[in-house]
Amino acid sequence: MLKIIYTTTMLIPMILLLKPKTLYTTTTSYSFMIALMSLSLLEPNLNMNLYLDHTSAPLLTLSYWLLPMTILANQHSMAKEPMQRQRTFLTMLTLLQLFISLTFMANNLTLMYIMFEATLIPTLIIITRWGQQTERLTAGTYFMLYTLTTSMPLLTAILFINNTTNTPTFFMQLMQSANPKTELMLWIACLGAFLAKMPIYGLHLWLPKAHVEAPIAGSMILAAILLKLGGYGMIRMTQILPTMKTDLFLPLIILALWGATLANLTCLQQTDLKSLIAYSSISHMGLVIAAIMIQTQWSLSGAMSLMIAHGFTSSALFCLANTTYERTKTRIMILTRGFHNILPMLTTWWLLINLMNIATPPSMNFTGELLIASSLFNWCPTTIIMFGLSMLITASYSLHMFLSTQTGTPLLNTTTQPTHSREHLLMTLHTIPLILISLKPELVM
């Protein structure tokens, strides 16, 4: 595990010293090599200082797989920037990757908390320095305030736990029961930070704003990895904290399911393509939150598989939205019509990724949602109404998104660039792992 951390760290001096001509090719191929190395971690082996198990290993591999893809996706838009800014941008991406991998590899609460919060800095710089519009500063402020407000109680709780156990709390070590009020406060403090990161409906306002303003690499990392840090933290916390009666989780499960349905309804009225994809992320994460709260074997397996599948799917959707944006210079769906006439190959990718977003069998999304649906139904049969409604609306807005961007007569009369092989490679690298994981789902469950 250390060799991967070292190689990732060495990317930074390499980015700063490479000649401008070879900057992108070398960085991309180097990060691809690290991504291929990280595949061996899917079968985790224990290490004394760093810690990987079957929960963190798939998420770590996903984050490494996404690093070269973010560099590929941003290559076109960064080409016009001065060289210094390009180097800074790539350094920020590598730093973010480093913090994320250390979060997943942390073997105690304190280190995990420090690295979890450290991801805020590079993300904030990426959103505010390379964002699309002037609104990006507001988006950055939202992102920072939501994260910091909820992370203070988490820090207090971690210090309290470390104090009572007289040692940094390691995972898989159950804390001794305290009095009921203290337990409740601990649970609320620990879950708050991760629920805001997921985000649960109600604490979600920073996400659409951050997505709309962020550059494509920022959107990909936000959707694919940073949201998963919340889910990972929740799974870890449920292993450590004293077990509670389900009464605490009841309002949270209901809020998560209801929030998923509301976020889906919000998707139906979005005109901005990126905003629509961001709200669809909120609805999928709502299902993951509900599944983690139930805490059965099936629901946790479903949550893990849906997190991995959503990581690939939403990242691919943002890439597709970006290819459209680079050609039309607008994200309003009604203005990006008729792309099936101009770029039929891109339409094929849109259809494929949208089908995965709807969770069509035999995709990984379907496996995750099926496991979550059965564990929810087993927990309380009435939840099937909310779940069914949510699935129905997901199908509606996904098809609406596909039809409004691809069919009809083109409204723009500007010349359109053909699709580059770089973009097809990007989509292939999103789709192939998803299909392969669908064939061997036990890798991520």
* Number of separate domains in the chain: 1
382 within some domain: yes
254 within some domain: yes
336 within some domain: yes
pLDDT at 46: 60
181 within some domain: no
Model pTM score = 0.94
What is the average pLDDT score of the chain? Answer: 89
258 within some domain: yes
pLDDT at 337: 82
398 within some domain: yes
Question: Are 392 and 260 a contacting pair, CB within 8 Å?
Answer: no
Q: Does the pLDDT at position 329 exceed 70?
A: yes
pLDDT in tens, 193-250: 999 988 898 888 898 888 888 889 889 998 989 999 999 999 988 888 887 776 778 8
Q: Does the pLDDT at position 55 exceed 90?
A: no
Using 50, 70 and 90 to split pLDDT, how confident is the model at 48? low
pLDDT in tens, 65-95: 999 999 999 888 888 889 999 999 999 999 9
Q: Does the pLDDT at position 361 exceed 80?
A: yes
pLDDT in tens, 259-295: 999 999 999 999 899 999 999 999 999 999 999 998 8
Q: Which residues of 187-212 are buried (b: 16+ CB within 10 A; e: fewer)?
A: bebbbbbbbbbbbbbebbebbbbbbb
**Ordered DSSP codes for 346-388:** HHHHHHHHHHHHHT-TTSHHHHHHHHHHHHHHHH-TTHHHHHH
- CA geometry: angle 335, 338, 342, nearest 5 deg: 120
Q: Does the pLDDT at position 49 exceed 70?
A: no
Q: Which range of residues forms the domain containing residue 439? A: 246-445
Question: Are 227 and 219 a contacting pair, CB within 8 Å?
Answer: no
396 within some domain: yes
Question: Are 312 and 388 a contacting pair, CB within 8 Å?
Answer: no
409 within some domain: yes
pLDDT at 47: 61
pLDDT at 240: 84
